[in-house]
């Protein structure tokens, strides 16, 4: 009798077989050869297969629940299985927006799409001038976030303490975003919109 305690777990030794068994238990109508080919084509190296096998061995329902957890290869596998006729597998939904987008990013242990990742990043890094987190359009010369209403007006100007940016902007039709239809954002005339801003900067 062999000592099973020294044997590696099956997901390490036979990741392809482990994944194929889980898939075929869910989708028995699929041709085993096609399933094996699909699994093999997922990655060139064995390590992603091992991670996928370990995940699915512990949580096979990730293939059918739409839960956005586990490695990105779960989504890749589901997509590939659908192309060969799988009916029961369900693509995971973004943990933030619920859409079946590609989910390359993680928020904790939940997978999210690129758009939601961008939104989340902006929320932690709001516009330096107005504090708004939506419509972050770029960064000023000090690397601080700026919304589309508050671009960095001059990258070459002194950064001394005399140059203090106003922390709040009075509402005016000229600073509304989005711009009136027919007026592209980059055509907004900063100097004309904010004469007070220029007069507040030394040397203007
Ligand atoms: Zn999303
Ligand atoms: Zn702003």
Name the token pair of 54: 């370990």
Identify the nearest ligand to the CA of 120 by its number.
1
Burial pattern 136-169, b for ≥16 Cβ within 10 A else e, equals: beeebeeeebbbbbbbbbeeeeeeeeeeebeeeb
Dist CA 71 CA 49 (whole Å)? 10
Does 127 or 55 have the greater pLDDT score? Answer: 55
Preceding amide of 178 cis, omega within 30: yes
Identify the nearest ligand to the CA of 135 by its number.
2
The Å distance, Cα 86 to ligand 1 centre, comes to 24
Reported as a single tens digit per residue, the pLDDT across 150-200 is: 988 765 554 443 344 444 444 444 444 454 554 444 444 444 444 434 444
Tokens 């096609």 sit on residue: 34
Q: Name which of 133, 135, 37 is nearest 77 in CA terms.
A: 37
Residue-level pLDDT at 175: 45
pTM for this model (two decimals): 0.62
Does 56 or 192 have the greater pLDDT score? Answer: 56
Identify the nearest ligand to the CA of 126 by its number.
2
Dist CA 107 CA 21 (whole Å)? 30
The Å distance, Cα 102 to ligand 1 centre, comes to 9
**Helices marked H in 101-169:** 114-123
Reported as a single tens digit per residue, the pLDDT across 114-132 is: 999 988 887 888 888 998 8
The Å distance, Cα 126 to ligand 2 centre, comes to 8
For β-strands 145-147 and 105-107, DSSP reports them as unpaired
């Amino acid at each position: 009798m062999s000592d099973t305690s020294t044997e590696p777990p099956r997901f390490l030794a036979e990741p392809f077989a482990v994944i194929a068994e889980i898939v075929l238990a869910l989708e028995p109508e699929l041709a085993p050869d096609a399933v094996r080919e699909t699994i093999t084509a997922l990655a060139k190296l064995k390590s992603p297969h091992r991670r996928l096998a370990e995940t699915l061995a512990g949580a096979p329902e990730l293939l059918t629940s739409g839960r956005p957890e586990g490695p990105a290869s779960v989504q890749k596998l589901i997509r590939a299985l659908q192309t060969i006729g799988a009916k029961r597998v369900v693509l995971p939904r973004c943990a933030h927006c619920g859409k079946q987008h590609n989910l390359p990013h993680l928020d904790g242990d939940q997978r999210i799409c690129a758009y939601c990742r961008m939104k989340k990043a902006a929320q932690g890094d709001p516009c330096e001038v107005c504090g708004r987190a939506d419509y972050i359009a770029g960064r000023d010369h000090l690397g601080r976030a700026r919304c589309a209403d508050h671009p960095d007006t001059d990258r070459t100007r002194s950064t001394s303490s005399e140059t203090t940016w106003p922390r709040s902007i009075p509402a005016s039709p000229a600073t509304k975003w989005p711009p009136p239809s027919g007026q592209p954002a980059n055509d907004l005339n900063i100097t004309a919109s904010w004469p007070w801003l220029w007069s507040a900067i030394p040397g203007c």
